[in-house]
Amino acid sequence: RITQTGDDNQAWILGSGDDNVYKIEQLGDDYYAKIYAFGDDSDTWITQEGTGDHNAYVLNYPGGDNNSTRLIQKGSGNKDADIIFYSGGDDNDVNLTQQGNGAHTAYMRFYTTDYDVDVIQKGASNQSYSAQFNCSGSGCNKTISITQQ
C-alpha cells in the first residue's frame, strides 16, 4: 500500500503471485500511479482525489484470473485512466469512476475472456473513452457498462 498526501506524486507497484492487494492512494497535487500485476485472485485499487492532473495506469499481464480493479479519480483537472488486461485471463472485473470538474478520458483494452467492466464519467466537462474488448469462442461472457453524465 502506498499513500501520498501532496506535492509531485508518483507511485509504482510491480506485483506477482496470487491473492494480493495492491493499493495506491494519492490525495493532492500532480498525480501519477501505475500498477503492473502478474497473478490471480488479486485486488487492485487506485484512488486520486483533489485538484491537478490525474494519471493512472493498471496493467494485468497474461494469465491473470479472477482479478478486480477499482480506479477512482475525483476533483478538478484532467483525469486520464489507462486499463489493459492482456490475454489468458478469465473472470476479471473493472470499476472506473471519474468525477468532478475537468476532462475525463478512459483508454481500455481487454484481450481476455469473461470480464465485467463498469465505467462512470460525470462532471462539468469533456468525457471520452476508447475501448477495445476482445472475446470470442464458446464460454465467453462479458458485461460492459459505460455511463456519461
Q: Summarize pLDDT for 48-76 with one digit per residue, the tens.
A: 998 878 999 999 887 788 999 999 999 88
Report, as an integer, the average pLDDT of 28-37.
92
**Phi, psi dihedrals of residue 128, rounded to the nearest 5°:** -150, 155
Asked if the model's pLDDT at residue 136 lies above 80, the reply is no
Tell me what pLDDT residue 122 has.
92
Distance CA 90, CA 68 (A): 11
- Higher-pLDDT residue of 38 and 124 is 38
Quickly tell me which residue has 476479471 as its cell: 92
pLDDT for position 135 = 67
- The CB-side HSE value for 26 (13 A sphere, CA atoms) comes to 27
| pLDDT value, residue 15 | 92
Give the span between the Cα atoms of 81 and 108, in whole angstroms: 8
Lowest mean pLDDT among 41-50, 56-65, 110-119, 129-138: 129-138
Question: Amino acid identity, residue 56?
Answer: A
C-beta of residue 110 within 8 angstroms of C-beta of residue 87: no
pTM, full prediction = 0.90
Four-CA torsion 118, 70, 83, 136, nearest 10 degrees: -50
Highest average pLDDT, of 11-15, 48-52, 111-115, comes from: 11-15
